[in-house]
Structure 1
Amino acid sequence: MWNEFKKFALKGNVLDLAVGVIIGAAFGKIVSSLVDDIIMPLVGLLVGGVDFSELAITVGEAKVKYGLFIQTVVDFLIIAFSIFIFIRIINKRFKKKTEEAPAAPVVDKKEELLTEIRDLLKGQ
């Protein structure tokens, strides 16, 4: 069982996935800091000095923090847009490489002979 687990855990795909998750978590922290520390204070200034993290409604004893929800939505939109731009750039690069080298059609002997026969029959 241990050998099977090692074989599974050390596959290239699993390691790539682990690296992707770690980098994604770090990227998420960077974007969260960007939203919390730079974008939302500027947006707050534009809408009259409102601090979105402090926006809340008290219903009974519960405090509904809709300002934090707004920050999370902005967070998501920035991450989604960043990933969209990244994927778009990657797709364009790979698309150019595949378009540059179109494969020449390979014609085997049978097809070549059949084409010649067809051309001879058309000529008659």
Structure 2
Amino acid sequence: MWKDYKEFISRRNVLDLAIGVVVGAAFSKIVTTLVEGIIMPPFGWLTSGIDFKDKFYDLSGKYNGVSDPKVIEEAIKGGAPLVRYGQFINDVIVFLIIGFIIFLIARSATKYFKFLEAEAKPTPTEILLAEIRDVLKNK
């Protein structure tokens, strides 16, 4: 059993996955800080300071029109039937921003890797093997 576990853990893809999870967690904090600390404040300014997190509709009608976050928290703890559409809007905006940032990073990485592939010229052995392959294909 120990031998099987050691073989499993020694695989390259398991190590790559572990590294990816750790880097992803660290990257998540960076992106969250970027969105909440840099991107959302100007967005809030553009919307005249509207904080979408505080927007909701109370199905019982008791808390409608209230915008105090403390009252909202108390209503949630008290079991009030709140439809928190503002939190949903906020989360969708954050998701779209994070998705766009990841898209930009992935696009840049793809261009960079294509550049590296184009830069790497084939060795004489690779050229010879390609010629042999082409000759064999034509037979």
TM norm structure 2: 0.64
**Pair member with larger Rg:** 1
Residues of 2 paired with 1:23 and 1:107: CA distance?
Answer: 43
Name the counterpart of 2:48: 48
| Matches for 1:83-98 after TM superposition, within 5 Å | 83-98=102-117
Name the counterpart of 2:96: 77
Does the CA contact (< 8 Å) of 1:35 and 1:71 recur in 2? no
Name the counterpart of 1:106: 131
Secondary structure of the residue aligned to 1:71 is helix
Residues of 1 paired with 2:54 and 2:13: CA distance?
Answer: 43
TM norm structure 1: 0.70
Which runs of 5 or more structure 1 residues have no equivalent in the other structure?
112-124
Superposed CA RMSD: 2.5
Does the CA contact (< 8 Å) of 1:52 and 1:67 recur in 2? yes
Does the CA contact (< 8 Å) of 2:57 and 2:83 recur in 1? yes
Name the counterpart of 2:86: 67
Secondary structure of the residue aligned to 1:49 is coil
Name the counterpart of 1:15: 15
Residues of 2 paired with 1:36 and 1:57: CA distance?
Answer: 24
Number of residue equivalences: 110
Name the counterpart of 1:117: none
Name the counterpart of 2:31: 31
Does the CA contact (< 8 Å) of 1:57 and 1:66 recur in 2? yes
Q: Deviations over 1:78-122 (max 9, x none)?
A: 2222222222222222222333426644148xx5xxxxxxxxxxx
Does the CA contact (< 8 Å) of 1:56 and 1:63 recur in 2? yes
Amino-acid identity (%):
45
| Larger RCO, structure (CA 8 Å, separation 6 or more) | 2
* Structure 1 runs (4+) greater than 6 angstroms displaced: none
